[in-house]
Amino acid sequence: MDVPVKNRMHWELTYIFLLTGLIILLAAAVRGCSEQMAVAGFAAALALNCWVWKQTVSRTVVYLHNGLNIICAVLLAYLLSAYVFVSDSTVIGAAFGVVVMDVFSFTKRGGFTLNARLMERKNTAVRLSVCLPVPGKRGLIPVIGTGDLVFYSLLTIVPLQSVNRAGPLIAVLPVLAGQLLNLAIIAALKNRAGFKGFPATLMPGLLFIAVVLPGIQP
């Protein structure tokens, strides 16, 4: 009798948590730069990323995408917080919308969404993710998407811009605690038949809304 091979994802789960911590630190650091520097840095990183996209996929190209995707994610979130999501209510609305669409993209009916289609295209998913070597698996494995990194960065930067003294705590806890809940759910479901992944924005987004919403003035 063949024994089913268990889906061992502890390396991927560790990478996800460490990358979440890294993006929080970078989001906190970039908050101190000027908007002009952020625009210039984002434009330069995006242009370079587009140039790298034209190159044939290789280990070096994927690692270049990794770094550029992280830079683009943090700077884009900074610019969104400066020009688009300038209030807590707009950020909460955006977070709710992102979570709903992300969850929907993982359902059967959500197969037509952009997120679902991008995940189906291996080369595109590799270029739009942070990919790292995983022991026991060949090549570089997509660990976390650039869109998720933008989301985490935005949920970090906005509370840090608040005059509320609890801002730093609010900036860190929802994203980190939410990510831990995500990872716990993935660990519990990963060996179930038909498991294809889990929406990375779900728990960080819901915890962020739960923490920030009560403080919004009517």
Question: pLDDT per residue over 15-62, tens digit each?
Answer: 999 999 999 999 999 988 899 999 999 999 999 999 999 999 999 999
pLDDT(6) > 60: no
What are the residue ranges spanned by the domains of the chain? 10-206
Instruction: Say what angle helices 59-83 and 35-53 make with each other, to 10 degrees.
Output: 150
Residues in the chain: 218
The string of pLDDT tens digits covering residues 97-150 is: 999 888 887 766 656 566 656 666 677 788 889 999 988 888 889 899 999 999
Task: Choose among 136, 135, 155, 153: nearest CA to 144.
Answer: 153
Q: CA-CA distance, 41 to 71, in Å (whole number)? A: 8
How far CA 45 is from CA of 74, 94, 155, in Å, comes to 11, 24, 22
